[in-house]
Structure 1
Amino acid sequence: MELIYLYHSGFALLGENFTVVLDYFEDSDGATEGILHRELLHRPGRFYVLSSHFHADHFNKEVLKWRETRPDIVYIFSKDILRRRRAAADDALWLKKGDEYHDETIHVQACGSTDVGISFLIEAEEKKVFHAGDLNNWHWMDESTEAEWKGYEKNYLHELEYIRRYTTEVDVAMFPVDPRLGREYMRGPRQFVEQIKTSIFVPMHFDEAYEAATAFAPVAEANGTAMIRLYRRGQQEHID
């Protein structure tokens, strides 16, 4: 299995007979140019597009045009995208927290978020792959009162407990490491790898702040987790 970093929180997961595109925002070379348009849209096998919520940096309506190239495409979207009228009812299969989708190739479990929409627990080729969407400990500690940030943290830890109903370990986790949170920006991802055994951690939601994202590596490794250090758009990694 291979993982390709597109941009921000966007990835492509490649299996032997399938491709899963997660939270597409832009392609690897720019808005509509890169490895996805050049190669992946033409790749044999099942093709899935998953979007965790309606925010513009996680859902791009351009994905709906891909049906012209891939009429067999399977869209699996969070229901808030429909509520926000970013897509029509017949455009996709719609999930909310607790819902699931499965076929002979993949199983998708919708978990919760601490912002909008859902996160995804995907099982394929005997691997468990987690994409957080906008799930994180969005504490904003430098700007909030103690009561406020502790409330945000309580909600986040509750969502981690919810994930543990389905699994206590994952093979790969794509999770926000967002330096905009300030001095404690690694708090959420650290709590994730502490509570859910993670073999491979992949940072996301850091825009161009590659150095800040990479700085999480020692924290991940201290919890027995290997981290993929991202350094460019289009980076491709084996995760077997």
Structure 2
Amino acid sequence: MITVTYLDHSGFAVTTPQAVMVFDYYKDPNRKLEKVLKDNPSKDVVFFVSHHHPDHFNTSIFELAQERKRTYVLSNDIFSKIVPKKGISVAWMSAGDVIDQIPGTKEVRAFGSTDAGVSYAITLPDGEVIFHAGDLNDWHWSEESTKREIEEAEAKFKTIVNRIAEAIPEIKIAMFPVDARMGADFAKGAEIFLEKVKVDNFFPMHFWGEPQKACDFSSYVPAGLATKCYCLDKPGFSVEIR
């Protein structure tokens, strides 16, 4: 069983049988990570950071779980000078990198992003895959962007998504941006992603205080898919995935 706990924005704590994986910790207003760690005292703790933007990377992660063995998987766009030199294990990743020595995993694979940094696909020891998109999305504003800008943004996005689809036949859990600020095409990226990649369980994120749009799955999840969608619209909410 896997438990997915929403921390805030694009931040999640995903508890697997082997580890507590923390993705893009930005803030945790209900201090749920503290409870997750307390409830899983024997598990490895792995922090994943997709890129340097302050709504995805908070340097306070280096002060969390200090009594535990910690591993940090960091995108290469993060300045090394702000990362502690002692007391933690750090793995740096760029798009295309694969690491098979991260605690609680079979392998970690970094894919590209259409903004800064990378997206992560984590293969668990049983072969199931957890995916965190970071800022990978079809970023364009249809009301403001030119036709050419829209086409270029979509082409860049599809190139990365096609690589993911080719490398990973099925994703158990995917966390992906559904950003209402983008206007009419706010969920275009999620729609394309779900069309091209087989996802069992889908979690929207990065919705900047507008979960009602992100959680209206009928407006963008392609019909006929077996994908289960979850609305963790308040920090601290969690769900168990079997």
Tell me the equivalent position of 1:47. Answer: 45
Tell me the equivalent position of 1:175. Answer: 176
SS in structure 2 of the partner of residue 183 of structure 1:
helix
Q: 1:67 to 1:226 in 2, by over 3 A?
A: closer
Tell me the equivalent position of 2:239. Answer: 237
Cα pair 1:3 1:238 within 8 Å, conserved = yes
Cα pair 2:161 2:196 within 8 Å, conserved = yes
Unaligned stretches of 5+ residues in structure 1: none
The 4+ residue runs of structure 1 with deviation greater than 6 A are: none
Tell me the equivalent position of 1:74. Answer: 71
1:35 aligns with 2:20: no
Cα pair 2:232 2:238 within 8 Å, conserved = no
Cα pair 1:7 1:207 within 8 Å, conserved = no
Separation (CA, whole Å) in 2 of partners of 1:223 and 1:120: 27
SS in structure 1 of the partner of residue 181 of structure 2:
helix
Tell me the equivalent position of 1:115. Answer: 115
Separation (CA, whole Å) in 2 of partners of 1:197 and 1:172: 10
Aligned residues, how many?
234
The TM-score normalised by the length of structure 1 is: 0.91
Cα pair 2:26 2:56 within 8 Å, conserved = yes
Q: 1:141 to 1:221 in 2, by over 3 A?
A: closer
Calculate the aligned-residue CA RMSD, in Å. 1.8
Q: 1:217 to 1:64 in 2, by over 3 A?
A: farther
1:59 aligns with 2:80: no
Unaligned stretches of 5+ residues in structure 2: none
Identity of aligned residues (%): 33
Separation (CA, whole Å) in 2 of partners of 1:25 and 1:234: 13
CA shift, 1:37, in A, is 2.2
Cα pair 1:193 1:223 within 8 Å, conserved = no
Cα pair 1:54 1:86 within 8 Å, conserved = no
Separation (CA, whole Å) in 2 of partners of 1:117 and 1:159: 13
SS in structure 2 of the partner of residue 222 of structure 1:
coil
Separation (CA, whole Å) in 2 of partners of 1:21 and 1:120: 12
